[in-house]
Amino acid sequence: MHLVDLSGSERIKLTGVEGQLEREARSINLSLHYLERVIVSLNKSSNGEKVHVPYRDSLMTMVLKDSIGGNCKTRMIATMSPRTQDILEGIATCNFAQRVAMIKNQVERNERVDPGIIIQRLKQENAQLKAELALLKGGDVKDELDKYEIEECRDKVKQYLDTDDPSVKIILNDRLKIQECFYYFKTLCREARTTGGGGLGKSTKPL
C-alpha cells in the first residue's frame, strides 16, 4: 500500500511568500503541474486515444507510476477550506479530484507460475484432447479388455485416489477402459462400506 501526501498548490501572489518559501512553493506547483499532465494523459488513454503518458517528467510522477494508471486500486482524499476567500482553491481541488476519479487502472493478478507446472498442465491437456479425439473416431472395436489393460485402469484409479492434487485426472481413450474404471470405483466403495472404511482393497473381479 502506497500512501502519498500531496501538498496543495499555492498562489504566490496571494500568499506573498519570499525567499526559500517562494522557491519551495514554485517547486510544489511545478510538481503538481507535471502530475496533472500525467492524469490528463491517462484520461485520454482511457477514452481510447493513443497518447504518451509523461511519467518521467518529474521524480514525483516516476514514484507514482504504479499508483496511478498501473496495477493497483487508486483512492484520493481531497481536503478543502470552507472559507469564502478559499473558494477558488476549493473548486480547483474538486476539478483535480474529478480528473483523478476518471483514471482507469490496468489491474492484473499478481501471480507467478512455475514453468514446470505449466508444461505439466499442457501435457495433461494434450493427452486429454488426444483421448477425446480417439473416442470420437471410434478406434479399434473389441469386446473386452485383456488383463494388462484392466490392471492399467486399476492403477490409474489408485493413483487418482492417492493424490491430493485437484488437477490430476484419469485420461482414457477407450469406452471399455472407462467402464472398467467405474466398475473398480464401485468395487472399492463396496469394500469400504463392508470394512467400515478400512482403506482400499483389491477388486474381486477376476483378471
Residues 155-170: tens digit of each pLDDT: 888 888 888 877 777 8
Q: Are 96 and 71 part of one and the same domain?
A: yes
Q: Write out pLDDT tens, residues 73-124.
A: 888 888 888 888 888 888 888 888 888 887 777 777 766 777 887 888 888 8
Using CA atoms, how far residue 160 sits from 18, 152, 154, 171, in Å, is 78, 12, 10, 11
Give the pLDDT mean for 185-203: 70
pTM of the model: 0.45
39 found inside a domain: yes
Residue 3 resides in a domain? no
Percent of the chain with pLDDT over 90: 0
| Residue where the block lists cell 470552507 | 82
> SS3 of 138, please?
coil
**93 and 120 inside one domain:** no
Q: Is residue 89 a part of any domain in this protein?
A: yes
Residue 127: inside a domain, yes or no? yes
Q: Which domain holds residue 166?
A: 115-194
Q: Chain-centre distance of CA 44, in angstroms?
A: 25
Could you tell me if residue 201 is inside a domain? no
In a domain, 38, yes or no: yes
End residue of a domain, out of 79, 101, 123: 101
Domain boundary, last residue among 69, 101, 133: 101
Angle at 130 between CA 129 and CA 136, to 5 degrees: 90
Number of structural domains the chain divides into: 2
Q: Which of 66, 101, 136 is the last residue of a domain?
A: 101
Same domain, 77 and 50: yes
75 occurs within a structural domain: yes
State yes or no: pLDDT of 133 exceeds 80: no
| Residue 71 shares a structural domain with residue 125 | no
Q: Is the pLDDT of residue 140 over 60?
A: no
**167 and 91 in one domain?**
no
Q: 162 with 97, same domain?
A: no
Distance (Å, whole) CA 77 – CA 5: 10
Q: Residue 67: which CATH number?
A: 1.20.58.980
